[in-house]
Amino acid sequence: MKPPPFELHRPTSVEEVLSLLAEHGDDAKVLAGGQSLIPLLNFRLARPEVLVDINRVTELDRISASPDGGISIGALTRQAAVEASELAVTRNPLLGDALRLVAHPQIRNRGTFGGSVAHADPAAELPVAIVATDATVSVRSRGGERRIPAGEFFVSHLTTVMADDELLVSVDLPAVPERCGTAFEEFARRSGDYALGGAAAVVALRSDGSCASAALALLGAGDVPIRAREAESAVVGRPIDAASAAEAARQAVRDTSPISNMHGDADYRRRVVEAMVERALLKAAGRAEARSS
Amino acid sequence: MKQEVSISINGTVYERTIDVRMLLSDFIRHEARLTGTHVGCEHGVCGACTVQLDGEPVRSCIMLAIQAEGHELRTVESLANGVDGELHPLQQAFHETHALQCGYCTAGILMSIEPLVESGEPLDEERVREALSGNLCRCTGYQQIVEAVLLAAARRAEAVE
């Protein structure tokens, strides 16, 4: 229950971090908030030879407005800081919905936005939120910067497209559609635990009340966050009511394969995710209506 | 890999040479000898080891001691006025409402909730339960803990008026 020995580096600039990552390759792990990595070290599930602590790289701790109406969040920004940012949660209300569900306040005080995205836990909320809102993840190495659509960033359980020498530097979230409502619904056995299943919805309505656009992303339905494109198309053009939401939810989980473990088997989890899609759609539509009336 | 560190806890600076892998919770208990901070699960789930880093509650068992350099830490020892002195109003409320039995989780709960009570934000049961969702207590069933926090908050509001 104590971390195994490691060599520790505490750089103060992105350039230094990139040099260290280039030098140590897959022997190194980046330490941001540590709210997932240090438990893994304490359990000895991870035994990196080198830790690169980025907590002194203050240039990565920022939230800024983008010209397109969206926001850009530096990787080291604490989750609590995003939650408390008027700019962030006004421009992307789904972030506020999602962050309230991320573990507990004490964890969010330390946990970082970029850390949660880079950790790529399929049961984590932030990866689902950035997939639902078509964010772009920027990663940098000494060779340059890559901008990766969130939907292509996650490869499998705890695995992303990032190479060993790349550092996640920021996540850019575009403006959400006008007259839209958002919702993040999940079911966990205890408040703050990793959820058994969940869903994020961003719904924009036309003036006649029918759905103009919908984005749906699933939590815990597979080993990465899943965009339910077919279910999205199924609700567009229709009013979002109990019947259309239930139909979309059924469709959203049709071909998914959640994991089975002692907390719930795949069938049960699929039904949980389905129920969360239904709830998220109805809640998001209700909020969109409230905003436009 | 060892390194010299200088860590400020409750206004006292502790200078030690430690292994870089030392957890903050172990530094607080074994190096600074402040044993009010308790260690439960040691993987960030139970909240017993919660301390304040620059005024914000964090888990000391999932942070490296060396990362506390340059920050101000507060532990439960900072609350009461000395060992035999007056209790902090929050501790006094816990005492009066029987908000602890074995007391193992109490230090973490106090350090988690103190900034919220001191913020003066109007509190209700739901808000308190949300703020304490990351602290496990196996004795009380939480009811009296919530009552204690609301009592302390009500007294603070009265005193401010």
CATH number for the domain including B38? 3.10.20.30
Residue B97 lies in a domain: yes
* Mean confidence (pLDDT) of chain B: 96
CATH architecture of A180-292: 2-Layer Sandwich (3.30)
pLDDT at A170 (0 to 100) = 98
Strands A7-9, A50-53: pairing kind = parallel
Which ranges of A85-124 would DSSP assign to H, the alpha helix? 86-91, 93-99, 105-110, 113-119
Residues of A in contact with B25 (CB under 8 A): none
Consecutive H or E run containing A272: helix A266-292
pLDDT tens profile B80-92:
988 788 999 999 9
B3 to A8: CB separation less than 8 angstroms, yes or no? yes
Give the Cα separation of B56 and A153 in Å (integer): 32
Same-domain pairing of B109 and B72: no
pLDDT tens profile B78-121:
999 887 889 999 999 999 999 999 999 999 999 999 999 999 99
A5 to B19: CB separation less than 8 angstroms, yes or no? yes
Task: Kindly give, in sequence order, each residue whose CB lies less than 8 Å from that of residue B56, ignoring residues fewer than 6 positions away.
Answer: A80, A109, B115
Element counts in chain B: helices (H) and strands (E): 5, 5
Same-domain pairing of B72 and B127: no
Which of B46, B78, B110 is where one domain is finished? B78
User: B37 lies in which domain range?
Assistant: 2-78
Of A3, A43, A103, the CB nearest to B21: A3
Helix, strand, coil shares of chain B, percent, nearest 5, are 40, 20, 40
The CA dihedral of A130, A132, A134, A136, to the nearest 10 degrees, is: 20
pLDDT band at B34 (very low <50, low <70, confident <90, very high): very high
Same-domain pairing of B97 and B29: no
pLDDT at A47 (0 to 100) = 96
CB contact at 8 A, A213 and A285: no
Same-domain pairing of B112 and B135: yes
How many angstroms separate the CA of residue B148 from the nearest CA in chain A? 20
Residue B67 lies in a domain: yes
For residue A210, the 8-state DSSP code is: B
pLDDT at B121 (0 to 100) = 95
CB contact at 8 A, A139 and A102: no
Same-domain pairing of B99 and B63: no
How many angstroms separate the CA of residue A45 from the nearest CA in chain B? 12
The residues spanned by each domain of chain A are 7-52, 62-173, 180-292
CA A40 vs. chain centroid, Å, equals 20
B67 to A2: CB separation less than 8 angstroms, yes or no? no
Q: Choosing among B37, B61, B67, which should be mutated to test the A contact, i.e. which has the most A CBs within 10 A? A: B67
Q: Choosing among B1, B58, B126, B132, which should be mutated to test the A contact, i.e. which has the most A CBs within 10 A? A: B58
Which of B45, B78, B111 is where one domain is finished? B78
How is B20-85 classified by DSSP, letter by letter?
TT-BHHHIIIIIS--TTS--SSSSSSS-TTEEEETTEEEEGGGSBGGGGTTSEEE-GGGTSSSSSS
Same-domain pairing of B146 and B97: yes
B19 touches chain A (CB under 8 A): yes
| pLDDT tens for chain A, residues 1 to 293 | 899 999 999 999 999 999 999 999 999 999 999 999 999 999 999 999 999 999 999 999 999 999 999 999 999 999 999 999 999 999 999 999 999 999 999 999 999 999 999 999 999 999 999 999 999 999 999 999 999 999 999 999 999 999 999 999 999 999 998 889 999 999 998 888 889 999 999 999 999 999 999 999 999 999 999 999 999 999 999 999 999 999 999 999 998 999 999 999 999 999 999 999 999 999 999 999 998 76
Same-domain pairing of B99 and B69: no
Residues of A in contact with B23 (CB under 8 A): 2-3, 38, 42
In total, the C-beta contacts within 8 angstroms joining chain A to chain B are 86
Residues of A in contact with B138 (CB under 8 A): none
Same-domain pairing of B65 and B96: no
Neighbours of A264 (CB within 10 A): 19
Give the Cα separation of A203 and A148 in Å (integer): 24
Same-domain pairing of B28 and B67: yes
Neighbours of A71 (CB within 10 A): 24
Which of B49, B78, B107 is where one domain is finished? B78
Same-domain pairing of B131 and B106: yes
Model-level ipTM above the cut of 0.85 = yes
In sequence order, the β-bridge partners of residue B8 are: B13, B72
For residue B27, give the nearest of B56, B3, B55 by alpha carbon. Answer: B3
Element counts in chain A: helices (H) and strands (E): 12, 14
Give the Cα separation of B103 and A174 in Å (integer): 48
Of B23, B43, B50, the CB nearest to A106: B50
Residues of B in contact with A80 (CB under 8 A): 56
The pLDDT > 70 percentage for chain B reads 100
Same-domain pairing of B72 and B100: no
| Sheet strands (E) in B54-160 | 56-59, 72-74
**Closest residue of B to A101, CA-based?**
B130
B44 touches chain A (CB under 8 A): yes
B21 to A39: CB separation less than 8 angstroms, yes or no? no
Domain A62-173 has CATH 3.30.465.10: yes
CB contact at 8 A, A122 and A224: yes
Residues of B in contact with A38 (CB under 8 A): 23, 44, 61-64
A38 to B64: CB separation less than 8 angstroms, yes or no? yes
CATH classification at residue B96: 1.10.150.120
Residues 98-117 of B with CB under 8 A from A: 112
B29 touches chain A (CB under 8 A): no
Same-domain pairing of B68 and B119: no
pLDDT at A205 (0 to 100) = 95
Residue B83 lies in a domain: no
Residue B161 has pLDDT above 80, yes or no: no
B66 to A8: CB separation less than 8 angstroms, yes or no? yes
Q: What is the CATH number of domain A7-52?
A: 3.30.43.10
Neighbours of B104 (CB within 10 A): 17
pLDDT at A191 (0 to 100) = 82
Of A2, A6, A191, the CB nearest to B23: A2
Q: How many domains does chain B have?
A: 2
**Closest residue of B to A108, CA-based?**
B58
pLDDT tens profile B134-152:
999 999 999 999 999 999 9
**Closest residue of B to A48, CA-based?**
B21
Residues making up chain B, counted from first to last: 161
